Structure formats: C-alpha cells, structure tokens
Chains A and B, each alone.
Chain A
C-alpha cells in the first residue's frame, strides 16, 4: 500500500500529512510534485492544506489547473480515494471534483482554533470506520471556509448524502453557535456522489497524536488504511 501526498507551491501542511501517514501510521508514503502529470503506483491521494499558488485569483483556483490534476481526476474517476484537507478541499471544489464553493468567513477573521464536527456519512473510505453521529475534535485554520452552494445544488448534495461532516458543539448538536465560518447548514465536509472523494476544512493531520491534544483526526487515516486493506483482501481472495 502506497499513499501519495500532493505538494503544490504554497502547500504548508504536506509534511504534516506525510509525517502522520509515514511515522504515526507506519505506511509507505510518496510526495507527488504538482508539476508531475503522473501519479502511478499510489492507492490513495491526499491534497494537503496551505495556500497553493498564494491563493491567487481564488483559493485553490490556480492549483486546480496544475499538471497533476488531470491524473488526480482520472484516479478519482476510477474509484481511487482522494482526500482534500482545507486548501486541498478548496482545490477539489475549484477543480469541479466536489460540489460547491468557498466564501470568506462571515466573521471577517481567519479562524484558527479547535472545533467539533459530527460524522454525517460513513460512505467514504475516510469515514467508513467511524459511526454516524460520532463527534470529532480537530483544529481549523482558514480565512475562506464559508461553504456555499446555490439552493438546488445544496438540496442535491443533502439528498444524495454528500454531506460528510457538520460543525457541531461538544455534544454533537448542530447549532449556529458551533459554526465558525458561516458555512451553509454547518457543512464542514462534502464527498463526491460515489463517496470516494472527500473534502473537509478541519485538519485531521493536526489531531493525530496525543501530544497535539487530540487523536480524532487519525481515525480518518486509519479508516482509509482499513478500507484499502479490505479491498486488497477481496482482490487477492
């Protein structure tokens, strides 16, 4: 099993992701340079947080045109698991691989703090090891995390169970006080119609070790590894 972490110019959470996957989970990890048009030999792709291309034009917009993105799109189209964290989520939105768009936070502030999110769907490789309604605690760090989708699109996303996470309080209640950025219906993460592409604003890689105050984020990566292993078992068997 080999996991790939894409490195864009301006990514700044790429090494955190590599560290967690390689040293905490003990997996084989390869860094994928954005200028490389191929991603052969990986079983999953992570688009990390940061400010790819300085967030010029719009967050994630220029990164979405990177040479590597057609390969990431093809990998996703073939069912490969793709995870976008924070800026990686914004890249997936701009690339049209996930529905919706990001606006600036409604509070006019860069939000950098721990939040709670509730698992809304376990149909993604990254959440299938969790349980619906489970509350996770991990940090956010963004200025443009105000998730938006026009009404018809929002209805489609919700009806087709593409909402993966919502901001909630410590008890799992989805209330406006727990919404850090103005996201529609407290949406913190969405997945593709097939479920194999997931984007979320909170940083699971920053909540994967006891020393960081929470290990809840590690469950997403462990879920991915278990999902990949179960598929391998089926193929071999």
Chain B
C-alpha cells in the first residue's frame, strides 16, 4: 500500500487571480512583505501496489493537471493515520507517523 502525494500549481508566469486576491488579504492583515502568493491543488492517491513514477506522471499529464497552464510534483509515502488538528499554533499535532515499508 502506498500513497502518492501530488501538488499541482499554475506554471510560473501564468496569472493566478486567486493567489493575488489572497495576497491582498494578507497585506490587509498587515503581512505587507508577502509577495507572489500562488494557489495550487493537493491530491492524495492511494494504490494497493504503488504506482511507478512514470504512471503517476502520466496520470498528472492526462488528467490531474492541465499541462498547458499547470505543473506538478509528487512523492510517495506510506498512508498516514488521520490526525486531528487542535487549531492552536504552538501545540504538537497528532502523532509521529509510524515507520513502514515504502513501496
């Protein structure tokens, strides 16, 4: 069992209108030094026997990303147990992931 974690973002230079809106919000809250906010998508795909990097790449190219406007990166890790976020920044969240075989 393996989980592929995929991050899809707009290519550099492609207008990210949503990112600009978020940047405006951050500036309004006083984080005026923040620049170049980019918004992307995060996907987890779990497969019983894992997936080769070539197959993962193909999946991104054909469907999960639009190669005309987006780029992607991914890594493979064992499935994680769901963690509960306590929502208070200083506290440790959840438990450390168990060491497992990575397929």
Binding site for B on A (CB under 8 A): 57-58, 61, 65, 94, 100-101, 103-108, 146, 148-150, 153, 182
Contact = CB atoms under 8 A, between A and B. Distances in A.
Interface stretch (B16-24, B71-79, B81-89): B16-24
A61 B15 contact: no
A106 B41 CA distance: 19
Nearest to A107: B17
B15 A150 contact: no
Contact of B68 (A57, A104, A106, A150): A150
CB-based closest 5 A-B pairs: A101-B68, A104-B17, A101-B69, A108-B17, A108-B21
Contact of B20 (A57, A58, A101, A108): A108
Interface string B57-79: 00000011010110000000000
Given A108-B17, A108-B20, A108-B21, A103 B69 contact: yes
Contacts of A104: 15, 17-18
Interface of B: 10, 14-15, 17-18, 20-21, 41, 63-64, 66, 68-69
B17 A103 contact: yes
B68 A149 contact: yes
Given A108-B21, A148-B69, A103 B14 contact: yes
A106 B17 contact: yes
Given A101-B69, A103-B69, A148-B69, A57 B64 contact: yes
Contacts of B17: 103-108, 146
A61 B60 CA distance: 12
Contacts of A57: 41, 63-64
The CB with the most chain B CB atoms within 10 A, among A58, A65, A105, A182, is that of: A58
Nearest to B69: A101
A94 B68 contact: no
The CB with the most chain B CB atoms within 10 A, among A100, A103, A150, is that of: A103
Given A103-B14, A103-B17, A106-B15, A61 B66 contact: yes
Contacts of B18: 104, 108
Given A104-B17, A104-B18, A148-B14, A61 B63 contact: yes
A58 B62 CA distance: 13
Contacts of B68: 100-101, 148-150, 153
23 contacts: A57-B41, A57-B64, A58-B66, A65-B63, A100-B68, A101-B66, A101-B69, A103-B15, A103-B69, A104-B15, A104-B17, A106-B17, A107-B17, A108-B17, A108-B18, A108-B21, A146-B15, A148-B14, A148-B68, A148-B69, A149-B68, A153-B68, A182-B15
Given A101-B68, A107-B17, A146-B17, 16 more contacts: A58-B66, A61-B66, A101-B69, A103-B14, A103-B69, A104-B15, A104-B17, A106-B15, A108-B18, A108-B21, A146-B15, A148-B14, A149-B68, A150-B68, A153-B68, A182-B15
A97 B43 CA distance: 26
The CB with the most chain A CB atoms within 10 A, among B14, B41, B69, is that of: B69
